[in-house]
Amino acid sequence: MAEEIKPEELEVADELIAERRSTEPGKLPADMPAWMATCITQIDRFSHWVGRIVCWLLIPMCLAMVYEVIARKFFLAPTMWAYDVSRMLYGALFTLGAGYALYRGIHIRADFIYRNWSARTQGAIDATLYLVFYFPGLLIFMWASIDYALTAIMRMERGMDTAWMPYMGPIKSVLPLGILLLLIQGVSEFLKSFYAATRGKWPV
């Protein structure tokens, strides 16, 4: 179990960020049921590796932006594609990395009240919110995003806000994939919350 941090030891900025996790997947309490520990470990490892892979999108995104700046400022030859490439890669990085961010506990939330509750209360609240809002909301969002992506692919939709007019199917397909990754990690987070609600301590 991660070392507990007292509320008075936290920085003001920490009150807007969920509890960061630095432990590697698989470090779970011995009293956790085997099926639960296996499920949490496998999902966390999956999200961990997805995050490691997705982070490489940062390199081509930065290269596209640097190339555009150099071409524009030094050679007076701005590109038609650098802006679209950079914003699409940023969108993919943000969307596909959301599940990893949830696993690491770095999503933004105002928990200045929540952090003072007991682990049992926190777990009960989190588990309830996952069941009532998180999973139903993401499932609806995923259903809408699949239709959104399929429509773009079938119609060969192109971006109309730039001269390059890129095909939008690939980047719009990232949205349902990112939601799927969030749903998968949400199962792990729900199980952790359930454990905290029933055992009175967080597993990680």
d(CA 124, CA 120): 6
Residue 197 Cα to chain centre, angstroms: 24
C-beta of residue 31 within 8 angstroms of C-beta of residue 198 = no
| Contacts of range 199-203, beta carbons closer than 8 Å, 24 or more positions apart | 199/29, 199/31, 199/120, 200/118, 200/119, 200/120, 201/1, 201/29, 201/119, 202/1, 202/2, 202/119, 202/122, 202/123, 203/1, 203/28, 203/29, 203/32, 203/40
DSSP classification of residue 57: G
Residue 1, pLDDT score = 43
Asked if 57 and 92 count as a contact pair (C-beta separation under 8 A), the reply is: yes
Look at residue 17 and give its three-state secondary structure: strand
Tokens read off for 167 = 């095909």
| Residue 12 pLDDT | 47
Q: Record the tokens describing residue 68, joined without a space.
A: 């555009």
pLDDT of residue 106: 85
Query: Whole-angstrom Cα distance, residue 178 to residue 34?
Result: 28
- Burial (Cβ within 10 Å: 0-12, 13-18, ≥19) of residue 107: exposed
Is the torsion defined by CA of 113, 114, 119, 123 positive or negative?
Answer: positive
List per-residue pLDDT tens for the chain, 204 residues long: 444 445 445 454 454 555 566 667 767 888 999 999 999 999 999 999 999 999 999 999 999 999 999 999 999 999 999 989 999 999 999 999 999 999 998 887 767 788 889 999 999 999 999 999 999 999 999 999 999 999 999 999 998 888 889 999 999 999 999 999 999 999 999 999 999 999 999 987
Q: What is the pLDDT of residue 105?
A: 87
Q: Which pLDDT does position 129 carry in this prediction?
A: 95
Helix residue spans in the chain (DSSP H): 34-54, 58-75, 82-96, 98-104, 119-129, 135-154, 169-199
| pTM, full prediction | 0.85
Residue 108 pairs in a beta bridge with 17
